Structure 1
Amino acid sequence: MSDEVEPGFVRVRLDLAYDGKDFSGWAKQTARRTVQGEIEDALRTVTRSSRTYDLTVAGRTDAGVHARGQVAHVDLPDEVWAEHGEKLLRRMAGRMAPDVRIWRIAPAPDGFNARFSALWRRYAYRVADRPGGVDPLVRGHVLWHDRPLDMAAMNEAAARMVGEHDFAAYCKKREGATTIRTLQKLSWERDEATGILTATVQADAFCHNMVRALIGAALFVGDGRRPAEWPAQVLVARVRDPGVHVVRPHGLTLEEVAYPADELLAARAVEARNVRTLPGGGCC
């Protein structure tokens, strides 16, 4: 599959953020409010176009999940970009609801694909375990856990999960899709001032529900219901474990998407499309 842009079009990169509370996820759906639908509708309106220009996104977030560092691209006709490009950012801001913002709109370098050119995605999941609950001012972005959490135990468990593995036990399986991923970072830190624990979860890509399932397993270790070895034991089994709880989405935020140098974008997009296998094993 080629990432060459159709003649007469320019590929445009969008850097954006949104509060996921009132969205039914990223991907557009009939009769439901989504981030993709909101942006595409605004784009069609401000460019006075008769057609919708489809967005391609780095990571399709679920309903209720937030983003601070989301990236997307859209291919616009040369004449549309020439007429509207310089004023597009301000006009989009005036058209969209305040729970989604585009911070930057610019022509993308050759070979850029928001989804396939990405090297990694970094998420944060925030949890509060104070007996009194979550600060009301951040309640829409922090999960309350009603038992004290042992951060050292959670980090011990997390260290066993890093690396390239088949994460089938932590993913909602999709037909024809591999569940092999490279988990580059998984660690916990506590802000002493607020008491909030933040998990940093970074991987080359994620399968459906993977982050929230990993967090659910970590919380069971942190509150003493499971030993530190348990999440890795579940991972090795490669089957969904009923003991792994998928936590609520509102504590999760996509923080950053990273890309290689411009000259490596096209090669990365080709590499990312390859179906991965583990040594001595199948793809899934």
Structure 2
Amino acid sequence: MPRLKLTLEYDGTRFVGWQVQPNGPSVQAALEDGLARLLGEQVSVFCAGRTDSGVHAAGQVACFDTPRVLPMKAYVRGLNGLLPDDLAVVSAMEVPEGFDPRRWSRGKRYRYRLSNRATRSPLRRLTHWEVFAPLDVDAMRRAAVHLLGRHDFSAFRAADCQAKHAVREVRSLTVEGQSGDEVSFVVEGTAFLKHMVRNLVGTLVEVGKGRRPEAWVAEVLASRNRKRAGPTAPPQGLVMEEVFYGDGPPPRTPGGSADADEDEG
């Protein structure tokens, strides 16, 4: 039975998140509904990482099995004609039977977008966190260095995070843009804890506002105490940009790959 891998783009504004939930529309439900209409049968879809309500994606990865054999263009052009306007398939390909979008992931890249204009922006309100106070972008860049590498990120996980451990490796964390305009935090790592990226951003913004010194970020990380970190940045600024894969699953070392029950975003 063929296994198909889809790369997805979506605007998460109206969705309650990736996972099917009883309280509103989800990305998973919309995709499974479109596939059912395309294939004439119900299929179960698995993703690389669950995104929260309001979180967007440019490179979410999902896979499913189906006995039907269709040309790849049917899963792009054909399926896109059946999906809502805020969800689209970017590409489709057949993958090995054992491919698992989560367990085979060798890393992910997220981008968090922030608007630092002095006044509100109607065009950015659903895609950026609007912070009106001036930010010291250079200070946030210097503070971000403390978060690079392999650490216990317990101070940056959500209280209800179900991951078995908090050891993760942040490969890169860059702060792009300038004060008074758009600022982006681009984070790449092996895997992420629930709300980890949004908590990292909320903490760095405390430094950018001048409320905390740059060295405070290292103290928060070492404390492993969520109460020491900054606030959780709102969901609309977060975009899952890309999921990285090799030829097979990565080595199963603590923090080296995602846990099966892990949440993200």
Whether these two folds match at TM > 0.5 is yes
CA-atom RMSD in angstroms: 2.0
CA contact 2:169–2:255 (8 Å) conserved in 1: no
Match of 2:176 among 175, 178, 189: 189
Aligned to 2:191: 205
Runs of 4+ in 1 over 6 A off after TM superposition: none
SS at match of 1:127: strand
Amino acid at match of 1:26: W
The corresponding residue for 1:280 is none
> Secondary structure at the residue paired with 1:187?
strand
Structure 1's 124 and 85: CA in aligned 2 closer, same or farther, altered over 3 A?
A: closer
Deviation at 1:14, TM superposition (A): 0.2
Q: 1:146 to 1:191 in 2, by over 3 A?
A: closer
**CA shift for structure 1 position 275:** 4.3
The structure-2 alpha-carbon separation of the partners of 1:133 and 1:110, relative to structure 1 and needing over 3 Å to count, comes to same
Q: 2: CA distance between counterparts of 1:215 and 1:276?
A: 20
- Aligned residue for 1:16? 8
Q: Partner of 2:99 in structure 1?
A: 112
- Aligned positions of 1:112-191 closer than 5 A: 112-134=99-121, 136-172=122-158, 173-175=160-162, 177-190=164-177
The corresponding residue for 1:70 is 60
Which residue of 2 is the match for residue 5 of structure 1?
none
2:244 is aligned, of 250, 258, 271, to 258
Comparing 243-252 with 167-176, which one deviates more in the overlay? 167-176
**Quick check: which has more Rg, 1 or 2?**
1
Amino acid at match of 1:157: A
Contact 1:47/1:84 (8 A) holds in 2: no
Aligned residues: 255
Mark the CA change 1:242 to 1:162 in structure 2 (over 3 Å): closer, same or farther. Answer: closer
Whole-angstrom distance in 1 between the partners of 2:174 and 2:162:
30
Which of 43, 52, 59 is the aligned partner of 2:49? Answer: 59
The 3-state SS of whatever aligns with 2:112 is strand
For residues 64-87 of structure 1, give each alpha carbon's deviation from its aligned partner in whole angstroms, at most 9, with x where no partner exists: 00001111111112xx1x257552
Unmatched 5+ stretches in structure 1: 1-8, 278-284
Unaligned 5+ residue runs, structure 2?
A: 257-265
Cα distance between partner residues in 2 of 1:31 and 1:43: 22
**Residue 37 of structure 1 corresponds to which residue in structure 2?**
29
C-alpha spacing 1:151/1:104, structure 2 compared with 1 (3 Å): same
**Alpha-carbon offset, residue 90 of structure 1:** 2.4
- Report the AA paired with residue 64 of structure 2: V
Q: Matched residues, percent identical?
A: 35
Per the alignment, in what secondary structure is the counterpart of residue 95 of structure 1? Answer: coil
Q: Deviations along 1:130-189, whole A, 9 cap, x unmatched?
A: 21233x223321111121000111011100110000111100253461111001111201
Shift of the alpha carbon at 1:276? 4.8
Q: 1:157 to 1:83 in 2, by over 3 A?
A: closer
Q: CA deviation at 1:22?
A: 0.3
Cα deviations across residues 77-121 of structure 1 (Å, max 9, x unaligned)? 2xx1x2575523322111110000001122014643211111111
Contact 1:58 1:118 in 2 (8 A): yes
Q: TM-score, normalised by structure 1?
A: 0.84
